[in-house]
Amino acid sequence: MKIIAALLFLLISPASFCQPMNQIDPKMIQSFAPTGTLRVGINLGNPVLAGLDTATQKPKGVTIDIANEIGKRSGIPVELIPFQTAGSTVDAIKTGNIDMIFVAIDPVRGADVSYTPPYIQIEGAYMVKANSSLKTNEEVDRSGVEIVVGKGSAYDLYLTREIKNAALLRAASSQAVIDDFMAGKGNVAAGVKQQLESDAKRYQGLRMLPGRFMVINQAIGIPKARPDYEKTTTYLSSIITDLKSSGFVAEAMKRHNIQGAKVAE
């Protein structure tokens, strides 16, 4: 009876549901990483997702942990390729120079990029000068207001659709938003809440408007131009679902001291 019980345990244990490496569709992996190495675009412009280790100057963060785990489960080496903006990672995946990115889900990007379910939710916020008359997010979209936003960012794409009366002034990157703002460009800065709060420490006389103007769902993206991209998306979606439910994403956020974001549902 003990032997039978042990066999039953093996059959129903979680490990038995893990797909053996040799059962992963080789055609799908070839489509996913055609060079034999998984080339991953890392956006250093969003501190919630990634940054540079001060000691090694190598990328570190939640997206790096997820990328390495995907490579481990897929049996392929991972090459991390840093970019300064999300838009530049999208451009690189369109040209086939990289295989996978971590990016906000957006319908404009969705024309070329296939998304997994989100793994993290973060907030977009507004920052103003301390003496600004603006008190709420709802007051921003009015004539005479100029919003500085990183070109090609999720916030740029969202505000381009939603803003009706205010004007958008595009900085070269999300990191450049506050510098442009403090140099006299515009009267509202828009971006990742954590990025704005971090940048504001370099200056005085700034304040955040309360709340948020959007919620950003961050997901993995792969190029739709690849063969079997739908099968690859399903494969990556199953990994992301597991990494969320197992606590992997939450632990990564804790390890990298990510505040103000949450694991996506």
Question: Domain holding 41: CATH number?
Answer: 3.40.190.10
pLDDT digits (tens, 9 = 90+) for 153-212: 888 989 999 999 999 999 988 888 999 999 999 999 999 887 788 878 889 999 999 999
What is the reported pTM? 0.75
Indicate the number of domains in the chain: 2
Cα(115)–Cα(9) distance, integer angstroms: 36
| 61's tokens | 């963060």
Cα(239)–Cα(254) distance, integer angstroms: 20
Reported confidence tier of residue 54, pLDDT bands at 50, 70, 90 = confident
Residue 16 within a domain: no
Domain that holds residue 157: 122-214
Cα(148)–Cα(165) distance, integer angstroms: 14
Residue 182 within a domain: yes
Provide φ and ψ at 49, rounded to 5°. Answer: -95, -40
Cα(197)–Cα(202) distance, integer angstroms: 10
SS3 category, 104: strand
pLDDT digits (tens, 9 = 90+) for 102-112: 998 988 888 89
pLDDT digits (tens, 9 = 90+) for 118-148: 999 988 999 999 999 999 999 999 999 999 9
